[in-house]
Structure 1
Amino acid sequence: MVTKSAFVSLLPFWTFDFTLAQLASRCAPALTNVACVDKFAAVMPLPFSRPASPSGEGLSDLDRFHITSVDDPSFTLVRDAPFVVFNQKLGLDILGSAPTLEDVFTTDPVVHEAPIYVPELNVIIVSQFNPNILDQVLINLNNSPPTMEPFRPNPPIFGVNGGRFLNGTMYWAVAGGDAVVNGTPIVQAPGIYAIDPITRVSKPILNNYFGQRFNSPDDLVIDSAGDIFFTDPQYAFQMNLSQFAPVLNQQTYRFRPSTGEVTLIEGEIGIPNGIALSPDEKTMYISDTSSTDFVNHSPDVGFSYKSNAPKAVYAFDTVESPAGKYLLNKRPLWFPSEFGADGLHVSEDGNILGATGASVDIVTPAGELLVKIQANFTVINVQFAGPNLDELWLFGIGRISRAKLNLKGLKGGRS
């Protein structure tokens, strides 16, 4: 029998083999811009560290997976690669044989949001989300290389934060309220707006909840029945896009344009932001960006970022009713390792794409991270475009980029 004291005396003589495999490798000789991470880098050699943010404030200081300080020469591949694969079987199929990521435009340092692809015109219309800018942007894909020009609907709309396209009409989630933008008085309330991309005629289709102003409609998605689901955080007042202080909780609604009925469908997520539907419409995804804390209605808009605050993406089962879809079975789908998922989109095969600020995460419907696209700027949203919806455009601050992968968007504008 071995006594406790004898057992303890044996411990110094035991040898543990903690030999680690290299963290990353070149996936294939031909894929020089792709790094494959072994077993999700589940064990890193000690010591290692990854700061939440170099300064703790501002989008320019977002933490990124590839800045991890780790004693493994193979990790240089992760730092240098625009595409990082975590599941080789599924991830390499998504990338295809020759994935590319290119900067197409260098822009002013403003947020570009609400990208919409208009197939009839073969253009992308994207907003400039800034309290001092009225014009939006049209990217003409008929030109080679693509060109940019101003886009202004009639009447003009500012503070556009989310968008989708359905049956020839653009639908915008508009955060901006009454304001004077560069000398132009704009009389509008936050809400949902419909725009004809050809005539550029715009009109509000929803601007209140029983007489109360919405806070800041952020993003939206449209189902096959034509119902519009949108998130309504409180960013507009905090970012000086509206002079009206919030009066409603931050929550998510269903709007039925045919009847005008608007209904609360989710009210427990801290700051609801991105929203998307699975191809079969049986699952809805909503992101939480409670990791952002804006300075409340300050002349100098800014915010702090907390990596340990809620920022998960949640999945819900959708259940049909005479009034439209409602949500059941809320569960966390994935927790972005970086800033948080702003824009959410779904590919033709059902994978979820989240613009996480530092990158674009491609995740399975079960929540497994397959691929991370590492951009060289802050990514706020993405959009599939092109006649075959096989170009993935990345939008954010300072640059607009285009990725070409083995991935397509949903037809009908729901991606």
Structure 2
Amino acid sequence: MRSPRSAYSLLLLAGLVRAQTGVTDPIAENCGPSVVCVNKYANVLPYHFFRNVSTSSVQTTFGDTTVANGTSLDNVKSADFLVFDKERGLKVLGSNPSYEYVFEVSKAVHEAPVYVASQNKLYLSQLAPPPGYLPQLVIDLNQDPPTLSEFLSDPPVYAPNGGTFHDGKIIWGASGGNNSIGGGEQRVGLRALDPNTNKTTSLLNNYFGFYFNTIDDLAVNQKTGDIWFTDPQYSWFNELTDTPPQLPCASYRYSPKSGAVFVVDDTIAQPNGIAFSPDYSVVYISDTGSVSGPVDPKYGHPGTPFNATGHRTIYAFDISPDGATVSNKRALYLAPGYVPDGLKVAANGYILTGNGRGVDVLDPHGQLILTVQTNYTVQNFAWTGPELKTLWLMGQGGISKVEWELAGPELK
């Protein structure tokens, strides 16, 4: 026989369940073809709810959350576009947004997309596996449908992991190095590719005699011409270099005029994406320290497991008027899905970041406006087209494109 005390406890629990207040209802609703709007950011979910923590091989999304009472988030999980701020999100999408999975590619990392408008071609890289892979890839947008083929520059560039277009050239951050690539030696550094002649030139390959670690991503301050880049330790972890890290993780500013290299920040665990605000008064740098590993050579190349409690945050820094230094570091966005990998800023100042299986769109304060959802891990992306309103996404297993009203910045 149940004791009076036990019966009272059950009645109290039942009352608490009935008394749950503020539940978002409905949690989400259809806002257009493959567009789902999440109401009030689903700020109060009915108990019991649970979302599995992402792993390096499987990243979860909000739609993977299980919710009590038979509530289903299937429409959230299957939508191409997940809108959190209805007014601004639907404006970004426009009247006829579309998402298309265009190319199936290997599970290797696909990075460093650079659009050359004069050719209407999109250049990108494929990193390990396999280690030592040299050709890059190019999407020819002049063809209908577009074609994907291999591309090899002269001399070749090994493992571009970040890239941009500046002054008529592709600027790539070569992230790997050893002494026998293509019969010669290459080291981590900045390389310039003239897309008209196919010739490459080394701009930078050392810091006072030390090898850089990776050069993960880069951006050019169009006001000063300086190239800013991040230097985490991923190339050692992933067997893209034969040399253990010699420098701490840091972000740098390189002056092509003087040849000087300046450290601008060394407080981020694994600096990754980097991008400027449209007026170049703010620089955004993402920290993907939750994907990391030991650097002790006795462990070899350990790979990069995911630790959900590690750093996976985008930070903002103010840039001094002369474009030389940064200050006022502040956290802007904690990536909920995985890590904030690729990082770019739209012409209107919205911030985009690759976040596991998709791309998040944020306002300059870090408020999530919408998410483009994919069935593969997105590493980076780039705008193309005459109005720069087509966004190509690439990563492990896929290359896709989005048509919407959010335009990218013009790179000259």
TM over 0.5: yes
Match of 2:8 in 1: none
Match of 1:133 in 2: 133
Structure-2 separation of matches of 1:17 and 1:176: 54
Match of 1:98 in 2: 96
Q: What pairs with 1:61-72 in structure 2 (closer than 5 Å)?
A: 61-71=58-68
Instruction: Indicate if the aligned counterparts of 1:307 and 1:338 stay in contact, CA closer than 8 A.
Output: no
Q: String of CA shifts for 1:285-330, please: whole Å, max 9, x gaps.
A: 0000001024657777632101111111000111133xx4311100
Return the letter of the residue paired with 2:26: Q
Instruction: Indicate if the aligned counterparts of 1:90 and 1:370 stay in contact, CA closer than 8 A.
Output: yes
CA distance 1:17–1:51, shift in 2 (3 Å): closer
Q: Which ranges of structure 2 fall in alignment gaps of 5 or more residues?
A: 1-10
Instruction: Indicate if the aligned counterparts of 1:218 and 1:231 stay in contact, CA closer than 8 A.
Output: yes
Structure-2 separation of matches of 1:328 and 1:399: 38
Instruction: Indicate if the aligned counterparts of 1:22 and 1:74 stay in contact, CA closer than 8 A.
Output: no
CA distance 1:37–1:116, shift in 2 (3 Å): same
Choose 116-125 or 75-84, whichever is displaced more: 75-84
CA distance 1:396–1:136, shift in 2 (3 Å): same
Return the letter of the residue paired with 2:316: A
Instruction: Indicate if the aligned counterparts of 2:281 and 2:321 stay in contact, CA closer than 8 A.
Output: no
Q: What pairs with 1:33-48 in structure 2 (closer than 5 Å)?
A: 33-48=34-49
Structure-2 separation of matches of 1:295 and 1:16: 49
Match of 2:308 in 1: 307
Q: Does 1:252 align with 2:251?
A: yes
Match of 1:237 in 2: 236
Return the letter of the residue paired with 2:134: L
Match of 2:203 in 1: 205
Shift, 1:388, TM fit: 1.5
Return the letter of the residue paired with 2:124: V
| RMSD over aligned Cα atoms | 1.9
Structure-2 separation of matches of 1:299 and 1:229: 30
Match of 1:88 in 2: 86
Shift, 1:355, TM fit: 0.5
Shift, 1:332, TM fit: 0.4
Structure-1 separation of matches of 2:283 and 2:256: 20
Match of 2:110 in 1: 112
Match of 1:25 in 2: 29
CA distance 1:208–1:132, shift in 2 (3 Å): closer
Q: What pairs with 1:244-283 in structure 2 (closer than 5 Å)?
A: 244-283=243-282
Match of 2:337 in 1: 338
Output the TM-score relative to the length of structure 2: 0.91
Structure-2 separation of matches of 1:196 and 1:240: 28
Output the TM-score relative to the length of structure 1: 0.91
CA distance 1:295–1:17, shift in 2 (3 Å): closer
Match of 2:5 in 1: none
Q: Which ranges of structure 1 fall in alignment gaps of 5 or more residues?
A: 1-10
How many positions carry a matched residue from both structures? 392
Shift, 1:109, TM fit: 2.0
Instruction: Indicate if the aligned counterparts of 2:237 and 2:301 stay in contact, CA closer than 8 A.
Output: no
CA distance 1:260–1:17, shift in 2 (3 Å): closer
Name the SS for the 1:343 alignment partner. Answer: strand
